[in-house]
Amino acid sequence: MQVIKAAKMTYRLGEKKHFTGTVQLDEITVKEFQADVKVYRVFFAPGARTYWHTHQEGQVLHIVAGMGRIGTLRESMIEVGPDDVAYICPGEKHWHGAAPERSMIHFATSPDNEGKDTGWGEEVTDDEYNGRVVRGVKP
């Protein structure tokens, strides 16, 4: 057994070109044992969210705390909370983040394919974030 102390864990802040607001990504995968998968614990401050993006091989999101929102091209905005799990299909365009007044923490799991997994798109507008439009069209 090997314990990796929290103080040794590395984290990074979400880049402004891919995230709106304050987002912290903690990679919790141990490379030597988990070569084929990437797992991040992601903290979103209230109102923070990703830009629109895709994952080549899909992604599983497991919400563990707070209140959040997920949007896709088909389904506008869906509210999510603790213990909810979302499966994003390979290539499905989507975004995820916190609720406006609440932070959110989820685990994000994807196959590891050397950083080629995520295809980034445009910023999520306030209308999209609030479920008022789906890709510019009122539902």
Residues of the shown chain interacting with Mn ion in the complex, contacts defined by CB under 5 A:
59
User: Which is nearer to Mn ion, 25 or 67 (by Cβ)?
Assistant: 25
**Residue 24 Cα distances to 11, 40, 131, angstroms:** 7, 10, 24
Q: Which residue is nearest to Mn ion (CB)?
A: 59
Least distance in angstroms from the C-beta of 55 to Mn ion: 6
d(CA 53, CA 124): 10
Least distance in angstroms from the C-beta of 8 to Mn ion: 26
User: Which is nearer to Mn ion, 115 or 138 (by Cβ)?
Assistant: 115
Q: Which among 51, 43, 85, 101 is positioned nearest to 71, based on CA atoms?
A: 51
Least distance in angstroms from the C-beta of 131 to Mn ion: 18
User: Which is nearer to Mn ion, 46 or 58 (by Cβ)?
Assistant: 58
Q: Which residues contact 56 (CB under 8 A, 6 or more apart)?
A: 90, 91, 113, 116, 117, 118, 119
d(CA 89, CA 59): 7
Least distance in angstroms from the C-beta of 96 to Mn ion: 6
User: Which is nearer to Mn ion, 116 or 138 (by Cβ)?
Assistant: 116
